[in-house]
Amino acid sequence: MRRKCNPGYLAHEKTASPVHQKQAFVQTKYIFVTGGVTSSLGKGIICASLGRLLYARGLRVTIQKFDPYINVDPGTMNPYEHGEVYVTDDGAETDLDLGHYERFLGVPTSQANNVTTGRIYSDVIAKERAGVYLGKTVQVVPHIIDEIKHWMMKLGGTGEFDVVINEIGGTVGDIEGQPYLEAMRQLRYELGRKNTMNIHLTLVPYLSAAGEVKTKPTQHSVKTLLSFGLQPDVLVCRTDRPLGTDVRKKLALFCNVDQEAVIASQDAESIYEVPLLMKEEGLDQIVVERMDLEQVIKERVSTQRGLDDWIQFVRRIKEPKATVQIALVGKYVAHQDAYKSISESLLLAGAEQGVHVDVRPVLSDMVDEDNIQELLGDVSGVLVAPGFGDRGIDGKLDAARFAREKRIPYFGICLGMQCAVIEYARNVCAWENAHSTEFDPSTDYPVIDLMEEQKSIADKGGTMRLGAYDCEIQEGSRVAKIYGRLQTRERHRHRYELNNELREGLISNGLMCTGINPKTDLVEIIELPDHPWFVGVQFHPEYKSIVGAPHPLFESFVGASMKYAKEKDLVESPRPVQRDKRIQLASAKME
């Protein structure tokens, strides 16, 4: 049986790995990752990759994201503006990069792992109103800077981590990011060179007209950093081609960086290849030597994990045995990051079974009875995504009905579960205008209704049912077999629930409510027993999938979709993947 990559993760209610249990206090090391030239270079992936490499050496690692925008959190932001909102166990609505951190590290994050300028100012203003500053004039320096420093060191101060990686959002030179750079400068002075480090991610573009790689954008970015009193220790250079020795020498000379600390981050097919590429470039070794971590690593021999499992995982991604096509039906599918955790969960679940999951994005606005056969007729699974608002609801209802009637594996998440219930009420229970009161407050059959505790809430930010809640699973149900137990704890983000006043009517017509919150009696899971695979969940299982241990519901759904594809002769050949020679080299070196 294949060994999981990360047995110590808390995702499925396991006990904490010894590496994350509190140990004798040592000075926490702080790594600051900044970006330059342009956004979207992949700071989050570099942070997650470095974290994974240090974790593989036995170090206790966590990663924080500092976002310069003034929103208190991304919870009220449009997914087209910001991408997915990621939710932690303790109910924080956070940046999607925290999903990468958890999937790579297998270590749960919390409220403290994502801090915005909005939260910083909110905290400082609250302290001023409470008289904490004793009548002093409250200013950016020192009060805002001190608050940022407080959050930068909050997790490190627990004594539970050897290394805290701090990702600074935006790019160097942004007005809103300047306080974070000043906080970094002060911490580097206060904590000392051995305990702080700056990794600067920048772009080294190739200009086809000139026929050469250009280093000037990176030079200017570093000069901007220097103007804030910060000298980068490492340059990670995003590029679409190998960086030659001459380019590395030039960057080192004009950016005051050691040549071996000029790291190439070449474009990769999969984000999960990046740790191996960074290993080959020696990024983790530079960090270990620069921050004097050798002795700590020697003391952690029993918790060193290596990268063998990760290498095998990457090989399964790159060398699938077959391809299965699953439709992702949602209103935000035009944005590649709006359902990031869902798409990654499907990929991780497929990898465990040697299958490439080809996700077909289907805009729910465009789905209707006339074109649904064309859109969904040749897929082997249908996943209806979460969301808010009535746009695209009819398309989601049509997708749920199509999957139910055609006996295609169906997975409904949050609103996707609610749509399955509405559709079932209308077309099986014959409750003609059944709906959610979110979309039709006057419906005769409000099968989905606003949670009682939500009815008096006026503010939108951070007020939903958020975070992890218990769920008791019905013995003998499909989901009980999938989980292999009768209790679970899952993360939520919603205001509406299945209306318990109509629950018995749904059950008497064949719908099974197989997961219930023991305290509130809230329905968490529904399923259809006479369908090959039809499950809806009120929670977000995608937030609990990690490398080597995908959420069991995703793993089961992909397995059911593969079975359906074989029965219907829909199995596709594996993708024609040319294994990256750099990955082969990295794998060979580490084996």
Given this model, what pLDDT does residue 73 score? 77
Give yes or no: residues 234 and 345 share one domain.
no
Q: How far is CA 216 from CA 226, 253, 259, in A?
A: 15, 12, 17
Picking from 289, 313, 337, the residue at the C-terminal end of a domain is 313
- 145 is a domain residue: yes
Give yes or no: residues 278 and 392 share one domain.
no
Q: Give residues with Cβ within 8 angstroms of 399, minimum separation 6.
A: 327, 329, 362, 364, 367, 372, 376, 382, 384, 419
- 541 is a domain residue: yes
Given this model, what pLDDT does residue 462 score? 57
Q: Give residues with Cβ within 8 angstroms of 333, minimum separation 6.
A: 339, 361, 362, 363, 364, 385
Tell whether the model's pLDDT for residue 589 goes beyond 60.
Answer: no
Give yes or no: residues 387 and 293 share one domain.
no
Which tens digits make up the pLDDT trace of 59-86? 999 999 999 999 887 777 777 777 889 9
Give yes or no: residues 562 and 435 share one domain.
yes
- 112 is a domain residue: no
Give yes or no: residues 296 and 333 share one domain.
no
Spatial CA neighbour of 443 closest among 418, 419, 420, 426: 426
More confident residue, 57 or 5: 57
Model-level pTM? 0.89
Tell whether the model's pLDDT for residue 227 goes beyond 90.
Answer: yes
| Counted domains in the chain | 2
Give yes or no: residues 508 and 424 share one domain.
yes
Neighbours of 294 (CB within 10 A): 11
Tell whether the model's pLDDT for residue 5 goes beyond 70.
Answer: no
Spatial CA neighbour of 380 closest among 419, 426, 346, 348: 346
Mean pLDDT score, 280-296: 95
- 107 is a domain residue: no
416: enclosing H helix or E strand: helix 415-427
Cβ atoms of residues 202 and 43 within 8 Å: no
- 586 is a domain residue: no
In DSSP notation, 5-29 reads S-TT-STTSPPPPGGGS--S--PPE
Give yes or no: residues 201 and 344 share one domain.
no
Cβ atoms of residues 543 and 98 within 8 Å: no
Give yes or no: residues 326 and 309 share one domain.
no
Task: Write out the residue range of the structural domain in which residue 554 sits.
Answer: 322-451+498-513+522-567
Give yes or no: residues 540 and 506 share one domain.
yes
Given this model, what pLDDT does residue 250 score? 95
Of the residues 82, 143, 435, 540, only one is catalytic, namely: 540
* Across 86-90, 135-139, 423-427, 453-457, least confident range: 453-457
Given this model, what pLDDT does residue 454 score? 62
Tell whether the model's pLDDT for residue 542 goes beyond 90.
Answer: yes
Active site residue 540: yes
Cβ atoms of residues 367 and 328 within 8 Å: no
User: What sign results for the dihedral spanned by CA atoms 16, 18, 20, 25?
Assistant: positive
- 97 is a domain residue: no
Which tens digits make up the pLDDT trace of 150-192? 999 999 999 999 999 999 999 999 999 999 999 999 999 999 9
* Across 208-212, 253-257, 270-274, 362-366, least confident range: 208-212
Strand partners, 490: 469
Q: Per-residue confidence at 586, pLDDT binned at 50, 70, 90? A: very low
CATH number at residue 180: 3.40.50.300
Given this model, what pLDDT does residue 571 score? 83
Give yes or no: residues 331 and 297 share one domain.
no
Lookup: tokens for 192: 């000392």
φ, ψ dihedrals at 230, nearest 5°: -120, 125
Which tens digits make up the pLDDT trace of 460-496? 555 677 899 999 999 999 999 999 999 999 999 988 9
Give yes or no: residues 270 and 249 share one domain.
yes
Mean pLDDT score, 513-538: 96
Strand partners, 262: 235
φ, ψ dihedrals at 199, nearest 5°: -105, 125
CATH number at residue 507: 3.40.50.880
Tell whether the model's pLDDT for residue 16 goes beyond 60.
Answer: no
More confident residue, 579 or 549: 549
Picking from 262, 282, 313, the residue at the C-terminal end of a domain is 313
Picking from 313, 334, 350, the residue at the C-terminal end of a domain is 313
Mean pLDDT score, 124-133: 93
- 420 is a domain residue: yes
Of the residues 281, 352, 542, 555, only one is catalytic, namely: 542
The chain-wide mean pLDDT, for the chain, equals: 89
Given this model, what pLDDT does residue 363 score? 95
Give yes or no: residues 302 and 353 share one domain.
no
Given this model, what pLDDT does residue 461 score? 59
The percent of residues above 90 in pLDDT, for the chain, comes to: 75
The percent of residues above 70 in pLDDT, for the chain, comes to: 91
- 562 is a domain residue: yes
Q: Per-residue confidence at 25, pLDDT binned at 50, 70, 90? A: very low
Tell whether the model's pLDDT for residue 6 goes beyond 60.
Answer: no
Of the residues 5, 237, 414, 429, only one is catalytic, namely: 414
